[in-house]
Amino acid sequence: MTEQEFNKIMEHIVSSLKKAGYDPYEQLTGYITTNELHYITRTGNARELIGGLDKLRVKLYVLRMER
């Protein structure tokens, strides 16, 4: 998966979390630290999408996020 494809998926996940009323930074941090998919909403198929991504790449993405 290219960096561009990865970023597009993460942007969709962040958008889905916002749409569901969650703070994307908080939810993604919870997911990374606990490995629990329940931190990610099912809205917009975000939970299924993030399950297919490399956790290290997700962690690096979160570290670059602006709060």
- pLDDT per residue over 50-66, tens digit each? 999 999 999 999 999 87
Helices vs. strands in the chain: H and E counts, helices first: 4, 0
Distance CA 8, CA 41 (A): 17
Structural domains in the chain (count)? 1
Q: How far separated are the first and last CA of the chain, in Å rounded?
A: 26
Domain enclosing residue 53, as ranges: 3-64
Please write the tens of the pLDDT for every residue from 4-59. 999 999 999 999 999 999 999 999 999 999 999 999 999 999 999 999 999 999 99
Whole-structure pTM over 0.85, yes or no?
Answer: yes
